[in-house]
Amino acid sequence: MKSITNIFKNKIVVAVICFVIAMIIAFIIVPSKNHDGERVNVIKVTKTISANTKITDDMLKEVNVEYDSVPSEAIRSKSDIVDKYAKSTIYPSDFITQEKLSVIDTSSNLYSLKDGETAVSVTMKTLSKSVSGKILIGDAVQLYGYDTQEKEINPDSGQWYFEVLAIDNAKSENVSGANLNELSDIVPASITVKATSEEQVKSIVNMENNNDVQVVFAGRGEEAKKLLNR
């Protein structure tokens, strides 16, 4: 009889413990995870930003919204967005996430080289050899190599049109379309072009290592597209 009473008492104790635990879950733990009515600040754009646009501080604003409407990956700090590029169009209603941003200009063809395409750089030894720094990304150019010892032009000179992918100064800063207020040095030190065959790559490497390379401007915009067969 005594053992039955003990069992009965133990069951009551267990039930009480379970009830207490249930109350803790219902009134403490669950409410702590429930953000009904809570609001948080997130970062959104002040106006529609098109793809490949570099985002600046004045394009952003802090918005107070309901917690439950915010995706977990939404960015809440301007510093995580400023100076990055939009991978696609971002609208004022959008939450900004890292997936929508790129640290480099996604319009650059360096970013989207296709199979069989290669980026190759050539060194500019003087300003004149880069058409006085007037070349822009996307331009069509030709490369001429001059052998200073043999005093003759490399036979591959002018054989192909190349698309300009990047233009950098001696500090590896992109100088295409830059101005003196943005950079301390806007003189091109190297130009990167797109090669579409192994023959082109070998020719460029040969010129780079054995010749003075001269860049010759061929076309821009629609004219460049025609020359590059795009």
Collapsing DSSP states into helix, strand and coil, what is residue 90? strand
pLDDT at 104: 67
Q: What is the CATH number of domain 39-102?
A: 3.90.1210.10
Q: Is residue 143 within 8 Å of 215, Cβ to Cβ?
A: yes
**What percentage of residues in the chain have a pLDDT greater than 70?**
75
Give the highest mean pLDDT range of 78-82, 101-105, 182-186: 78-82
pTM above 0.95, yes or no: no
Q: pLDDT tens digit string along 25-60?
A: 655 554 555 566 688 899 999 999 887 788 999 999
- Close Cβ partners of 106 (under 8 Å, ≥ 6 residues apart): 51, 52, 85, 86, 87, 112
Q: pLDDT tens digit string along 144-198?
A: 999 988 899 999 999 999 999 888 877 666 666 544 444 455 678 889 999 999 9
Which own/partner contact pairs does 139-142 have at CB distance under 8 Å and 24+ positions apart?
Answer: 139/163, 139/164, 139/217, 139/218, 139/219, 139/220, 139/224, 140/164, 140/218, 140/219, 140/220, 140/223, 140/224, 140/227, 140/228, 141/191, 141/193, 141/215, 141/216, 141/217, 141/218, 142/215, 142/216, 142/218
Alpha helices by DSSP H, listed for the chain, are 2-24, 30-33, 198-210, 222-227
Backbone torsions φ then ψ of 48, nearest 5 degrees: -60, 130
pLDDT at 88: 81
pLDDT at 172: 62
pLDDT at 181: 47
Q: pLDDT tens digit string along 57-75?
A: 999 999 998 888 889 899 9
